[in-house]
Amino acid sequence: MLGVELGNEADLSYGTAGLPSYLTDLPKYAEAVSPLPVVAPNTSEDILPWQSIDARSVPTRWFWNWPEILDNHPAYGSDHFYPLARTCANKPYRCPSIPALLSDEHLQSLDYQVDEHAREAGERSLPYRLEETNTAAGRGADGVSNVAASAAYALDMMFHVACPQSPKTPGANLDCKVGGVGVNLHNAEVRAFFEPQEGNGYYNAINYDPTAAMGAPTAAPEYYALLFFGRFAQGSKGLRPFETGTPVKGWRTDDRLFLINKTDQPVSVPAPKGFVDRMTPYDATGAGKFLDAAQVRIDGRQTRADGTWPGFRPHVMHKGRVTLAPGEAAVISKSFPA
């Protein structure tokens, strides 16, 4: 067990005015479960343009109270982030669409939040993790959270949590000294807890069988992003952002180059020779869908019917360029991945 939160998102369960009570309860619960260091904040945070938060011109619940919270010795610093929301009547900034999900604007809000809170946690020698996140609050949005665009978003998002590039201080974290140690993608039922028979949340990375048969789970698009990042990026040394000179997003480690095309057009990118693995939208209908394709493949492969992974199948690239389809990502490894 990594963490226990006091209520589902403490800044909501306690209420904006409930911070004093929370600060009193936090050490009590921490002592009650001692010696296990598991009590963590898990604040939900109000998702707004980073400029408004930085100017403190909008209500943000407990965003600026982290020093008080972290001084109460939680196990680690943690919060939640959902760039969009299924319902957005009062917040057009969060209305779900594929262009909004893949926009730089929403990643800048994430970068700002992660950078602020990871730094505050680090000042107290505490790790920081994005304890709960996904594409859209309210269990996701159909046609946005359950298509290939969500995999491209999730892959890039994990790099940004590991190495936030705060829009307030561009270039200040190019060495990735500040960042999170982990990410949890939220899975849920489509409408309400304890109603699994109604089906899967649109943003689920792994879909369960909602029928009485309770068959093997199946992989949704975001699962392939987790698989891709976990295999090729997790634990790597020398992480840093990489400028591709194109709209394609780039990240480097000591041994690999990652390229993520979040645009709606194919893009050709200069790249070193090496062994290439690809995460690619897959449209079983043959309609030529990419970002809105219902499925994703890695190296042309999918999980087996029993949920197991058949293995990666990189190919050798001798050319100095790689062309990425819309929503496609590639990793170029210097040597054959072990």
Each residue's pLDDT tens digit, 74-88? 899 999 999 999 999
Q: Are strands 321-324 and 249-252 parallel, antiparallel or unpaired?
A: unpaired
Is 278 among the domain residues? yes
Is 102 among the domain residues? yes
Residue 37 and residue 177 share a domain: yes
Last residue of a domain, one of 165, 198, 222: 222
Is 232 among the domain residues? no
pLDDT digits (tens, 9 = 90+) for 207-231: 999 999 999 999 999 999 999 999 9
Instruction: Indicate the SS3 state at residue 183.
Output: strand
Q: Which residues contact 205 (CB under 8 A, 6 or more apart)?
A: 154, 185, 187, 219, 220, 222, 223, 225, 226
Residue 258 and residue 207 share a domain: no
Is 3 among the domain residues? no
The mean per-residue pLDDT over the stretch 45-65 comes to 93
Question: What pLDDT score was predicted for residue 6?
Answer: 87
What is the percent of the chain where pLDDT is above 70? 100
Is 231 among the domain residues? no
Last residue of a domain, one of 222, 248, 269: 222
Residue 308 belongs to a domain with what CATH number? 2.60.40
The C-alpha angle with vertex 164 and arms to 19 and 262, in degrees rounded to 5, equals 120
pTM of this structure:
0.96
Question: Directed axis angle between helix 148-162 and helix 221-232, to 10°?
Answer: 40
Question: What pLDDT score was predicted for residue 143?
Answer: 98
How many residues are recorded in the chain? 338
Last residue of a domain, one of 160, 194, 222: 222
Residue 186 and residue 122 share a domain: yes
Residue 25 and residue 156 share a domain: yes
Q: What string of DSSP letters covers 109-133?
A: HHHHHHHHHHHHHHTTT--EEEEEE
Residue 277 and residue 212 share a domain: no
Residue 35 and residue 148 share a domain: yes
Is 70 among the domain residues? yes
Residue 215 and residue 109 share a domain: yes
| Single-letter amino acid code for the residue at 337 | P
Residue 97 has pLDDT above 80, yes or no: yes
Give me the number of domains the chain comprises.
2
Residue 122 belongs to a domain with what CATH number? 3.20.20.80
Residue 172 and residue 302 share a domain: no
Question: What pLDDT score was predicted for residue 338?
Answer: 64
Is 229 among the domain residues? no
Residue 203 and residue 119 share a domain: yes
Is 5 among the domain residues? no
Range of the domain at 255: 237-333
The mean per-residue pLDDT over the stretch 236-258 comes to 97
pLDDT digits (tens, 9 = 90+) for 150-180: 999 999 999 999 999 999 999 999 999 999 9
